[in-house]
Amino acid sequence: MKMQFRALAAFAAAVASGNALASIAFQADFATYASGNLAGQDSWAQFGTSANNPLQVSGGRVVLPGLGTGSGDGQDVRRSYSPVLSAAGTSLYAGMTLTVNTALAPNSSTTGSSYIFGLLTSDASPFVNFRIVTRQGTAPGTFQFGMRPTGQSGNSFVFGGDLPLNTALNLVIAWDFVGGVQNDSTVAWINPASSSRAGNSTYVVNAQGNLNGDAPGFGGVVLSQFTNASTTQTGATIDRMIVATDFAEVQGFIPAPGAVGTLALAGLFAARRRRG
């Protein structure tokens, strides 16, 4: 009887685990990766034609080198997953633990740096949606994330408030699929402490409709390196990344930020309140 109960419990745990995993499109803990090229490891592959400055893993982190204007078009790297298709009333979440070291675009910039992260549509010719950029913050030692639904003209970036440079942060973003066209919405959180989406304050919301119609779904992520005469690259390191259809799954995969990061954030918010 006891053995039967144990077997039943193990079976129940396996089912529960399987259900949880079903929501995860992919996850990566770069601490388990070898130093060297990211492309070629764990199904990451070059995206686009440029093989310049191959994106590197160093010391268990992906390193975006933060190059200035005119540094060329560096290699972009993608990670595909089984497409998550648009279904009204559902959401796709991505989360990453990252540290931004340099934000070269001035705070006055409405476009920020070249995008560092995006979601690839599930079309036959994947297009980069949900672009994440940075620009300098209003206070010294800070930066701001910006995001827009697509790279198509007509969409613009919406930026959030100041965040500390050189500090590990958990960025969680959501693409909310809404029935009908040109009406999907995007949301971001920083260091969400609650596994309940509604239990966290949002960092930034961009509810602009996609002028070219909403994405049919998403089948990959891309990390991008690009500069030109007027566009810089963000300097950042990324520790881990996850894409899933469940908020709690994403929130739970990115560990609580270290005490230093929490204190730095608390200090920033206190400073903003004092100024306000």
- CB nearer to Ca ion: pick between 68 and 179: 179
Cβ proximity to Ca ion, 10 vs 211, nearer residue: 211
Spatial distance between the Cα atoms of 91 and 251, rounded to a whole number of angstroms:
14
Chain length of the chain? 276
Question: Which residues, other chains included, contact 254 with Cβ-Cβ below 8 Å and sequence gap of 6+?
Answer: 95, 96, 97, 170, 172, 240, 242
Distance of CA 223 to the CA centre of its chain: 9
Assess contact for 173 and 230: CB atoms under 8 A: no
* Nearest-approach distance from CB 122 to Ca ion, in angstroms: 14
Question: Residues 125, 128, 131, CA angle at the centre, nearest 5°?
Answer: 175
Number of residues near Ca ion (by CB under 5 A): 4
Pairing state between β 24-29 and 158-159:
unpaired
Candidate list 122, 137, 174, 184; residue touching Ca ion; CB under 5 A:
184
Residue with smaller CB distance to Ca ion, 55 or 120: 120
Rounded least distance, CB 216 to Ca ion, Å:
10
Looking at the Cβ atoms of 186 and 200, the one nearer to Ca ion is 186
Report the nearest approach of Ca ion to the CB of residue 181 (Å).
6
Are 116 and 64 in contact, with CB atoms under 8 Å apart? yes
Task: Indicate the residue whose CB is closest to Ca ion.
Answer: 214
Closer residue to Ca ion (CB): 54 or 217: 217
Is position 85 an interface residue for Ca ion (rule: CB under 5 A)? Answer: no
Which window, 135-143, 147-155, 182-190, 263-271, contacts Ca ion (CB under 5 A)? 182-190
Binding mask 191-220 for Ca ion (x = CB under 5 A): -----------------------x------
Phi, psi values for residue 131, rounded to 5°: -85, 135
Smaller CB separation from Ca ion, 105 or 173: 173
Q: Is 165 helix (H, G, I), strand (E, B) or coil?
A: coil
Which one among 178, 217, 245, 252 touches Ca ion, defined by CB under 5 A? Answer: 178
Asked if 188 contacts 207 with a C-beta cutoff of 8 angstroms, the reply is no
Q: Which residues bind Ca ion (CB under 5 A)?
A: 178, 183-184, 214
